[in-house]
Homo-oligomer: A and B are copies of this chain.
Amino acid sequence: MVRVTRNYRFSASHRLHLANLSEEDNQRLFGKCANPHGHGHNYLLSVTVEGPIDSRTGLAVNTFELDGLVREHVIGKIDHTYLNRDVAGLNGIPATTENIASFVQSQLQAAWPGTFPALAHIRVQETKRNVIELAVIQREV
């Protein structure tokens, strides 16, 4: 069993702000991320699958197919967007890195082909200082 990780980049903007909190509480929770017109990041997304090496091809996953899946269901929906407004799955919830990682997980699990090795791990890096990781419960085989 090996793990294969593919890295993808996307650029997006967001604002972290809860309408039912005072400005002071928004600042305490989100700091400058609560600024009124949003701001943005170059995000780095890492998707990890886990499975056996196919003894004929020497591959654990066809990375072209994996890339196509991630581009269609994740990158194509969030790259060069204002996450708060443009991404349906983040509507009404704060566009934190934690919620972005959960969104990626839902998108991939819903679209995951039965022929693929298990989706194992998702990682979203917002800046060099801030990283979120999420271990995906593996499918029963």
Contacts and interface: CB of A to CB of B under 8 A. Distances in A.
A139 B28 CA distance: 26
Interface residues of A, number: 61
Main secondary structure on chain A at its contact with chain B? mixed
Contacts of A131: 4-7
A35 interface: yes
Interface string A73-110: 00000011110011000000111101101100000000
Given A12-B40, A81-B37, A6 B129 contact: yes
Given A5-B131, A131-B7, A38 B60 contact: no
Nearest to A12: B39
A40 B13 CA distance: 5
Contacts of A134: 1-3
Contact of A82 (B32, B39, B57, B79): B39
A59 B96 contact: yes
